[in-house]
Amino acid sequence: MVIKNVNLETVCGITSRLPDNKLPEIAFAGKSNVGKSSLINGLMNRKSLARTSSQPGKTQTINYYNINDQLYFVDLPGYGYATANEKVKAQWGKMIEDYLHKSKQIRAVFLLVDIRHAPSENDRIMYDWISDRGYKPIIIATKLDKIKRSQVAKQTKLICDTLGVADDTIVIPYSALSKQGREEIYELLDRILGEENI
């Protein structure tokens, strides 16, 4: 996949109606500070179109990026930010659940998990939400550059075991620094788009 044109087309807040898009959507879910904006920027070859922040919980809207007029990257609110109050957490959860329930164009959901740690309770809840909606989450294990190469297989297994994933689940370790894993994600997107055109 070669990404030439990128446009932040729609931003939905808590009270917004979701757009009735006709193009396929690829959703990105993950807890705050897992590197979601960095991944999306890396895939789009943009430094800061998706807002990154040292302050977790920055994405509080659902952001739709039009990619090549072929598909949308849908950036869902980061969940599990510890200092957000309970009302805000509930609103983020409702936004994500509404999106998974109502959007008719979802073709894949990427669930981002920090490769350094076992998935959190929030990660497990999100995995179950996505699965319960009939989607098979694709796991992106972020922050690959923070561990030794010899630890990758062990940490990947820890993620799979903790989430209880199916045997055929796709898990792609990804580094925002080296962009390792990006080509695999591009190939996956090409496959998804290819299936659209069959």
Give per-residue pLDDT as tens, 27-50.
999 998 899 999 999 999 887 677
Q: Which two tokens stand for residue 70?
A: 């072929």
Tell me whether strands 62-67 and 71-75 are parallel, antiparallel or unpaired: antiparallel
Does the global pTM surpass 0.85?
yes
Where would I find the H helices in the chain?
36-44, 86-102, 121-132, 152-163, 182-196
Q: What is the pLDDT of residues 99-151, one digit of tens each?
A: 999 999 999 999 999 999 999 999 999 999 899 999 999 999 999 999 999 99
Contacts of 30 by beta carbon, 8 Å cutoff, 6+ apart:
36, 78, 79, 111, 112, 113, 126, 140, 142
Total length of the chain: 198
